[in-house]
Amino acid sequence: MTIKISSKELSSIVVYGFLGNIIGGLDKELSKIEQELEKVRGCIIDGIDKVIAGVMPCKP
């Protein structure tokens, strides 16, 4: 069985495969960045909570 593919079809397969790899790689990088931003956000919120706790007197 022989499958014939035109050069236009072959180039579109190659281009879409290449774009798929780029998009997949960007998605992984964006996921890593999102995780790092969540860590930074947590640290900022913890720092603000500590400042507020140090400024506001505790009520018995």
**Which pLDDT belongs to residue 60?**
59
Closest by CA position to 8, among listed 16, 19, 24:
16
pLDDT in tens, 2-58: 878 888 888 888 888 888 888 889 999 999 999 999 999 999 999 898 888 887 666
**Which pLDDT belongs to residue 52?**
84
Closest by CA position to 55, among listed 40, 1, 47:
47
pTM for the complete prediction? 0.58
